[in-house]
Structure 1
């Protein structure tokens, strides 16, 4: 078996537009956001359908004969992509996809495996540009990446072999991801149980209630907090050298800060808020992602976040953070932000959110319990992710070896 090494631009057409039949259609078409896209497997079915007039600008177009890969970090590194055969009809998706339509003589399944292989990904990743946590693969660069291409018959044979060899690994990864989701859901439920017990949901119109000997008082977030105002220029000192925390630096549902970079290192050039050490940082963009944390030092926070101080006569910042990580708050945020194009909670809506507060002894007890529970969950998640990583490495090795068998130069 032999193969030629051919530039990707000669294997597929990049980002083909919709034909006139679609442009002039009166029908609605599926729209896949990035959240619905999986790793070259069938996308999630929880999608919207929109009239084509709303989709012709600002979205990628796909047909069942296409293949697409996510070009933005971290989705590219995580291997997100679509094989068109998983789509029932012509569809639209986020513009953060690069869509490829195989040319004659190129197998759709083989091309999909090429895009998942280290042969493509390692080179493509080296072309990523952008500031901070948002970088994109250069389409111009990847067009000139050379990849092994045997005969069409051999392409199909290799794809069949990979389908067979990878099925067991894919099943194992799916089981592990399901367990990961269960761990996160259990933690979210536990946080909710401790910061807003179920009995409180039944107390409409009541201002105070006693549960297991503990008094809980009803209030709203706005009555017991203050939010920092006044933005600063992150390009000038001392702000340029301060840590800048944005939603992408915070782990969903745990309050853990994943990475730290200064405003200068992130190339920040628009207004940011100053936060004091110990203040609560809350992401107002897509609040259902549950991204809140405690400022580890005097720092800056993104304009997409609020820097909040709890009234020390009522509650602690940490207890409030755990409330913002709870399922109770997630449900409230979902109701109050779902009608906004880019889901977010404005100050007025956040201020009106109901909050039940126990005494400080109970708050401190809850903080210690949840600190330990989050630590234990993160330890379990870490071990599970290591196992998933090993499976993915094995997956990539199998793809690479099968593709290279006929591609030696």
Structure 2
């Protein structure tokens, strides 16, 4: 026995749905609203409108399959238990992702300011660092003996001058903005040409291998290496190492906790959080010898790749769990799975149950 019920009271901009307790279990309705069937109904309604929002008429006209109150309660009890288990697993996996992120950042931060771990140093034919000196820089602390601490402008060039993104060859080049870079990881998450983005104002030209750093909201640590010649937003700086600094080392240094702490402190001195060119040029940063910089970059490329692979696996597992959660809810609220074992515990007779077929 299945009937439909759409007698809801709704207030905009949020829909407050009140259920008639004699006809609908509110927990059953709660789960039904999370089902694929409900989502599909809403999406089909969107296709006939100009704006993707759920209006009062959309919800009122969507049919909801309702069995008896005891049946709805049994389904809700089943889903409370099963989705609770799924939610616990998802929470644990999200915590694992957070821990992996912390491990990744700690690895980068230690290596770019203290040098390679002893075993890794020997692997690259270097002597492990055993003695350290005060860098004289508050944000940096101690650095290995033998490392220099130099002014940024002396060893890193910030690109100057801008190009017109509406003209060739620039219009068909990839244009990178802060929105294309994942916070804190150094990963480019999307690409589009200047033409695709309808860019009109001046952009910086970036050479392959240069480091692109977002000067706005530095706490987000948005930094990426240019895979090819490209353009970047005026909100970002293309950076290139001079004689003593490798671009790869600059990239990893800018992802460290120490650099982030300095940049946030400096950004807080102005109305809009950003690092201007003069501030960056006055920065003093650590400079390992060239061979060690290359070893640090190679080591971090390898070790962070291992962590990133774990990230990917855990994220994929979360996606599968959430897809299963939605599928389970949909199957239960539409009668496609049998929860009669639960129904028996509620004291139902066989004639009270909805035929799952």
Deviation of the 1:190 alpha carbon: 0.6
Matches within 5 A, 1:370-409: 370-405=300-335
Deviations 1:277-301 (A, max 9, x none): 1111112232222221111111111
Separation in structure 2 between the aligned mates of residue 338 and residue 183 of structure 1, nearest angstrom: 29
Structure 2 unaligned regions, length at least 5: 116-130, 336-353
- Tell me if structure 2 keeps the 8 A contact 1:280–1:292: yes
Matches within 5 A, 1:130-145: 138-139=52-53, 144=58
Separation in structure 2 between the aligned mates of residue 300 and residue 187 of structure 1, nearest angstrom: 28
- Tell me if structure 1 keeps the 8 A contact 2:65–2:334: no
Deviation of the 1:116 alpha carbon: 4.1
Alignment match of 2:135 (pick from 196, 203, 227): 203
Q: How many residues align?
A: 313
More helix by share: 2
Deviation of the 1:209 alpha carbon: 7.8
Residues 1:170 and 2:87 are matched in the alignment: yes
| Aligned twin of 1:356 | 286
Matches within 5 A, 1:13-162: 13-15=11-13, 99-102=14-17, 113=31, 116-119=34-37, 121=39, 138-139=52-53, 144=58, 147-149=62-64, 159-162=76-79
Matches within 5 A, 1:235-274: 235-274=166-205
Deviations 1:107-149 (A, max 9, x none): 8866764564434556767999xxxxxxxx7226796366444
Deviation of the 1:196 alpha carbon: 1.1
**Partner SS for 2:216:** coil
- Tell me if structure 2 keeps the 8 A contact 1:282–1:307: yes
Structure 1 unaligned regions, length at least 5: 16-98, 129-136
In the superposition, the TM-score normalised over structure 1's length comes to 0.64
- Tell me if structure 1 keeps the 8 A contact 2:223–2:251: yes
Deviation of the 1:4 alpha carbon: 3.2
| CA radius of gyration, larger in | 2
| Aligned twin of 1:56 | none
Comparing 139-148 with 190-199, which one deviates more in the overlay? Answer: 139-148
- Tell me if structure 2 keeps the 8 A contact 1:221–1:352: yes
| Aligned twin of 1:42 | none
Matches within 5 A, 1:213-252: 215-252=146-183
Matches within 5 A, 1:224-373: 224-310=155-241, 312-338=242-268, 343-373=273-303
> Using a 3 Å threshold, how does the CA distance of structure 1 residues 302 and 141 change in structure 2: closer, same or farther?
farther
Comparing 171-180 with 245-254, which one deviates more in the overlay? Answer: 245-254
More strand by share: 1
Comparing 384-393 with 169-178, which one deviates more in the overlay? Answer: 384-393
